[in-house]
Structure 1
Amino acid sequence: MNFDKIHISLKKNMLNFSRGVIFMCLVVNKGLKLELLPSKSMIQVLEQNIGNARFIWNNILGIYCDLYELFKFHGCPLSPTINNLNAILKMLKQENSFLYDGESTSQQQVFRDLNKAFTKLFKEKHGFPKFKSKKNPKQSFRIQKNGNNIKITNRRIRLAKLGYVHYRTSSKYKKLLKNSKINNVTVKRENGKYYAIVNITTTVEELEKTGKHIGIDLGLKNLATLSTGQEIVNLDLTHEEEMIHKYQRKLNRQKYMSNNYKKTLQKYYKWLNRKNNKIQNAYHQLSKYLVRNYDIIAMEDLNIKGMFKNKKWAPKLQRISLYKLVKMIKYKAEWYKKTFIQIDRFYPSSQLCNNCGYQKHDLTLGIREWTCPVCKTKHNRDINASKNILQKAIQENIVNS
């Protein structure tokens, strides 16, 4: 199963001559997810560093907010720069000596992440940075490569001040780890398991151009409807969800952190991971299929966060994880040098006739098929929308090129 999280890094181009055709190779930063197999003593070390990262984040954020109000009162607001946040970290380490026992680059990474959060707040209008909860099932810390502080062998990974940890992954990933430059390692606990996401620099070969384009209409009834007329149905996760709900109810009846509670929690995590892996695998296959077969991939820029406010839609949206699919298609299109276009979310793709352009203003969500009164073309709502999305994207691509 592929757990890749890839981000393009336009650092260097290479040429590969294969079968008489010249293919461009891009240098990319790729994340490889390894499952860690820590001993009981190592789990304590990992949890200590996870706790340190959370402690530093919460305290730096709290101290900065207090200092900001103080400086603002005196007419000179304090900017959340790297230097200011680093100064707060140094003060924290002087007051809390246990922080010196942790890995230093992971602690420095905390205030860098906090600085990025504030940058997004001011420039991109993201939400204010939130305090991290100990109850969150996803906890992590990141170690930056600094000399020989990170070493990976065929079976074990060594992290500075943490020691060696056994891991397991595919032979393909082991080969990549051996032949690629390591940038950083993020260690995280998720659903009862520990993982190391190793960020590496490697090269990928761009795919051959096909000359074909595709429009995609995402939905709740069907996961996606393609402009070719093909409908991608949602995954059948009924059994996984039934088991998840079963163990959720059982956990509610048991004493918190008792032996029986821990046993039930492991079973709950098992089914939760099985559901997530099933979604992850299907979406990787779908996104790779689209990117491999089409040069232009078009879809709407959906307001997924806004859609979650609808109480009827929220459970379905949470189940199918539309944002995850969009993200995969987007980064793989960049990876393989294909064109990914998202048209405006307010474009009336369902209302327009893709044949003559007539707009049916009274089209409601309950109407799945309609006939154009002008050209008499019969439309399937979703297929018609996907064709209009593709036409609009091609127009925008021609104008922008």
Structure 2
Amino acid sequence: MGKVVNMGLKLVILPDEAMGHVLEQNMGNARFLWNNMLAMYINLYMLFSFNGCPLCPNIRNFNAMLKMLKQENAFLREGESTSQQQVFRDLVNAFNKFFKEGSGYPKFKSKKDLRQSFRIQKNGNNIRITNRRIRLAKLGYVHYRTSSKYKKLLKNSKINNVTVKRENGKYYAIVNITTTLEELEKTGEDIGIDLGLKNLATLSNGQEIVNLDLKKEDAMIRKYQKKLSRQKYMSKNYQKTLRKYHKWQDKKNNKIQNAYHQLSKYLVEKYDIIAMENLNIKGMFQNQRWAPKLQRISLYKLVNMLKYKSEWYGKTFIQIDRFYPSTKTCNICGYRNDNITLDIRQWTCPSCGTHHHRDTNAAINILNEAIKIKYKQTI
């Protein structure tokens, strides 16, 4: 039986000069609304808090702010309406995450940020997609480019919304769809994964997955970053260098995306239970030695892919507690060796005499702990 899932399909869109101006205008509108509503809420929150009655960040309050801003700024009424309503929904979600989950406080958006976007919600026939063009409400038709697989999905799936964004000098449309996927057959095999910096991952069967070689891409990105810093902002030479910088950024991102999609697909197809530690990746970035490498290998992308693909295809993804001593525990007898430091790659258990490869032992322990967690959930 198929499973109903939501997924995002990334299309390259190819606007002409006129359409490019329209897209930029709507991105500017979204940014303008975000910044103004955020500033209004901060002022109102301080005012209400001073009087002992904090202002709740809900849709009703932000909708009132939107109406006020549209009355004061005529150019907003010319833009696409559902994308403007989406701005205050995103703000409400951002504040809820801050107040309830401890996420970062919502920040103001800069015009100089190379990444800009707006999202259009499906409302009747305001979004239409043909074999070559996509029609966005009040904006018009724009040509797009994608694979035949994605075209088939777009034709046979329900469209929920479209996010238009500019990234690295190119325009994209991320189409959120609801579709049905067939679950993969069970293989009877399970795997534990120990993520690392020296190797991308070590599996509980002893297989090591090395990090991608991104030296050339990183060197070229650094080269053009330095060149940009010496040039006049948005001059002809600056824009020429910026295009080269974007080209190498895209090469790096595509290389990572492609490798991680292949790896996550392989793991989800082959194993029924996929287990790993719930790493505090944000906290790891605080370490100055680790941060550059963590940024380069983008561990979060791989973890996220394994999560959603396991859910899509009927497999089980389990993350064990980050404080579980997977590295220091012998997977044979359970002895805990607290003398293991980061520089020790192999060790012998003082209790049972088993010789361990540090990361393989950790991956086995991660899998064993995940199986225990799954067993407790089924009782």
Query: TM range, normalised to the smaller chain?
Result: over 0.9
Runs (4 or more) in structure 1 with deviation over 4 Å come to: none
**1:21 alignment counterpart:** none
Q: Deviations over 1:63-122 (max 9, x none)?
A: 011111111222222111111110001001111111001100000000011111112122
CA–CA distance in 2 between the matches of 1:366 and 1:81?
50
Match of 1:118 among 92, 95, 102: 95
Matched, 1:97 2:74: yes
SS in 2 for 1:28: strand
Matched, 1:357 2:373: no
Which residue identity is paired with 2:298?
A: S
Shift of 1:138: 1.4
Q: Which moved more, 1:282-291 or 1:251-260?
A: 251-260
**1:340 alignment counterpart:** 317
Q: Deviations over 1:307-359 (max 9, x none)?
A: 00000000000000001100000111111111111000011100001111111
CA–CA distance in 2 between the matches of 1:383 and 1:353?
11
Which residue identity is paired with 1:176?
A: L
Task: Tell me the C-alpha RMSD between the 2 structures.
Answer: 0.8
Q: Deviations over 1:371-396 (max 9, x none)?
A: 11111111110000000000111111
Query: Which sections of structure 2, spanning at least 5 residues, go unmatched?
Result: none
CA–CA distance in 2 between the matches of 1:76 and 1:303?
36
Aligned 1:272-287 pairs, distance under 5 A:
272-287=249-264
Aligned 1:101-250 pairs, distance under 5 A:
101-250=78-227
CA–CA distance in 2 between the matches of 1:86 and 1:336?
39
Which residue identity is paired with 1:369?
A: Q
SS in 1 for 2:172: strand
**Number of residue equivalences:** 378
CA–CA distance in 1 between the matches of 2:50 and 2:214?
54
Which residue identity is paired with 2:120?
A: I
Q: Which moved more, 1:46-55 or 1:119-128?
A: 119-128
**1:8 alignment counterpart:** none
Shift of 1:284: 0.5
Shift of 1:221: 0.2
CA–CA distance in 2 between the matches of 1:80 and 1:41?
37
The TM-score, its normalising length taken from structure 2, stands at 0.98
SS in 2 for 1:374: coil
Shift of 1:135: 2.0
SS in 2 for 1:122: helix
Q: Which moved more, 1:226-235 or 1:41-50?
A: 41-50
Q: Percent identity?
A: 75
Query: Which sections of structure 1, spanning at least 5 residues, go unmatched?
Result: 1-23
Q: Which moved more, 1:188-197 or 1:173-182?
A: 173-182
Which residue identity is paired with 1:125?
A: G
